[in-house]
């Protein structure tokens, strides 16, 4: 499919959540995509069986394995970062609330809103679709996208870069200048086979800076995932473990993920977020009995309004904020509710329903205007072959690309040159980041898969703050 060129020569494409993952590639002359199931020809069946045998006996990080082309999705992992901006109005809304607890609640809403696109809605199981493996980005690969101003949310821009290949690490940066919101994130994966599933630990973290709130900062970790259904050739994802969001305002959110057990208990894509105070706020007090972004007035409207669609439901408590907490619980792929401690479950009100909202479309440059390192240019030949169902050609194009990158690396090493990212910088000894991480490890006795006080930060953000 191809994007529609606007007068500004920028094409507007639907989010990959609800469209083919090829973005603006022109596939009009290609045959229809093959049925979204393992191809039945004998060669691919044999390759699939061979791959599963290798997978079952593999030890170490699975990112080093070569995946058969018919199990690949024609999209780079780097492009997945765009799901964090599926609802840019929710990101912009974080800074709109005067109360720091309200801002944390709004931050949780934005965080939860990104999960469906990232982990489930790429495939439609009722159509027989199943998860496929995206490309591992090549070193230095880039991805750029924008989201238009929707009802005062302001324009949102994202830049992404693959900052490391061994181990694989992707970095992204989001900025909304109108509302003074800036997000830096880096992430990688460590995966391995456990039983009949693939377990993936996401390594890294993200930070949010609210410049219109005196630089208030949020630190968040990433959930682990489990890939089930591999042995039935119908993979699906489930989130597991605990994620933390910690703010310099003194509020923390602990988000626990769980799924349906093999005995049938629980529900798929379940989460429970507990928001509580773990430290003093900047002004030493928090107002109570105020309006919270806790619920939407209706499940049948989109999240287009920046603040209007955030609830005016007031949650009061006789307990102090130090002893009270907010519980948000439900499905991150569907509906959830919110309630404050001390209130009965019957007083819970709707919080968010991901399933009834449509992500805002991404705005990206036409393919011919993209740089050589941008994801769609990098993987163009491989993606065309996959969509056409020519998996032999796809494997050849993928190998050609990867071998070329290996040759580039050896040439650099021969010249004694060190590769450096164009868009991001590895920042060490960030004391504010270190303090927020210690809230997780010391105060909450939690674990983080991260380097303390260190992270990848966009160079433009560093320049802005200096």
User: Would the pTM count as exceeding 0.85?
Assistant: no
| Per-residue confidence band for 64, with pLDDT thresholds at 50, 70 and 90 | low
Q: What is the mean pLDDT of residues 400-406?
A: 96
pLDDT for 74 beyond 50: yes
pLDDT in tens, 408-459: 999 999 999 999 999 999 999 899 999 999 999 998 888 888 888 999 999 9
């000894």: which residue's tokens? 429
CA dist., res. 114 & res. 118, Å (int): 6
**Span 154-180, average pLDDT:** 97
What's the pLDDT tens digit per position in 183-235?
999 999 887 777 777 888 899 999 999 999 999 999 999 999 988 776 666 67
Distance CA 336, CA 330 (A): 4
Mean pLDDT calculated for residue range 75-98: 96
pLDDT over 90 percentage in the chain: 57
Helices (H) and strands (E) in the chain, counts: 8, 20
Asked if pLDDT for residue 59 goes beyond 70, the answer is: no
Ranking 51-60, 66-75, 146-155, 242-251 by mean pLDDT, the lowest is: 51-60
How far, in Å, are 272, 385, 465 from residue 32 at the CA level? 41, 12, 49
Q: Which of 188, 199, 186 is nearest to 166 (CA)?
A: 188
36 vs 253, more confident: 253
């Amino acid at each position: 499919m191809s994007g529609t060129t606007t007068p500004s020569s920028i094409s507007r494409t639907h989010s990959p959540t609800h469209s083919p993952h090829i973005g603006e590639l022109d596939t009009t002359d290609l045959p229809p995509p093959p049925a979204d199931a393992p191809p039945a020809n004998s060669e691919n069946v044999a390759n699939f069986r061979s791959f599963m045998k290798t997978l079952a006996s593999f030890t170490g990080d699975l990112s080093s394995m070569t995946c058969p082309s018919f199990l690949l999705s024609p999209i780079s992992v780097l492009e997945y970062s765009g799901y964090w901006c599926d609802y840019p109005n929710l990101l912009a809304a974080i800074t709109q609330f005067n109360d720091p607890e309200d801002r944390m609640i709004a931050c949780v809403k934005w965080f939860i809103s990104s999960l469906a696109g990232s982990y489930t809605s790429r495939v439609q199981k009722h159509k027989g679709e199943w998860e496929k493996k995206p490309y591992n980005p090549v070193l230095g690969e880039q991805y750029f996208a924008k989201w238009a101003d929707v009802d005062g949310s302001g324009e949102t821009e994202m830049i992404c870069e693959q900052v490391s290949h061994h181990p694989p690490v992707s970095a992204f940066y989001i900025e909304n200048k109108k509302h003074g919101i800036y997000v830096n994130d880096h992430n990688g994966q460590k995966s391995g086979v456990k039983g009949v599933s693939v377990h993936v630990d996401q390594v890294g973290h993200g930070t949010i800076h609210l410049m219109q709130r005196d630089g208030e900062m949020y630190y968040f970790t990433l959930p682990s995932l489990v890939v089930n259904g591999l042995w039935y050739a119908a993979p699906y994802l489930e989130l597991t473990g605990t994620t933390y969001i910690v703010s310099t305002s003194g509020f923390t959110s602990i988000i626990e993920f769980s799924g349906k057990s093999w005995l049938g208990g629980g529900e798929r894509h379940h989460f429970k977020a507990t928001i509580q105070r773990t430290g003093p706020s900047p002004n030493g007090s928090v107002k109570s009995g105020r309006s919270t972004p806790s619920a939407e007035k209706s499940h049948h409207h989109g999240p287009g309004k920046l603040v209007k669609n955030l609830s005016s439901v007031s949650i009061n408590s006789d307990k102090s904020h130090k002893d009270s907490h907010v519980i948000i619980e439900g499905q991150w792929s569907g509906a959830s509710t919110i309630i404050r401690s001390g209130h009965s479950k019957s007083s819970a009100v709707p919080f968010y329903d991901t399933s009834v909202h449509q992500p805002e479309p991404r705005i990206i440059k036409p393919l011919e205007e993209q740089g050589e390192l941008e994801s769609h240019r990098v993987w163009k030949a491989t993606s065309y072959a996959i969509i056409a169902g020519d998996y032999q050609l796809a494997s050849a194009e993928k190998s050609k690309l990867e071998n070329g990158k290996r040759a580039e690396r050896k040439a650099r090493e021969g010249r004694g040159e060190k590769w450096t990212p164009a868009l991001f910088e590895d920042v060490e000894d960030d004391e504010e980041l270190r303090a927020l991480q210690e809230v997780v490890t010391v105060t909450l006795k939690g674990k983080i898969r991260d380097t303390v006080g260190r992270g990848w930060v966009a160079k433009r953000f560093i320049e802005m703050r200096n």
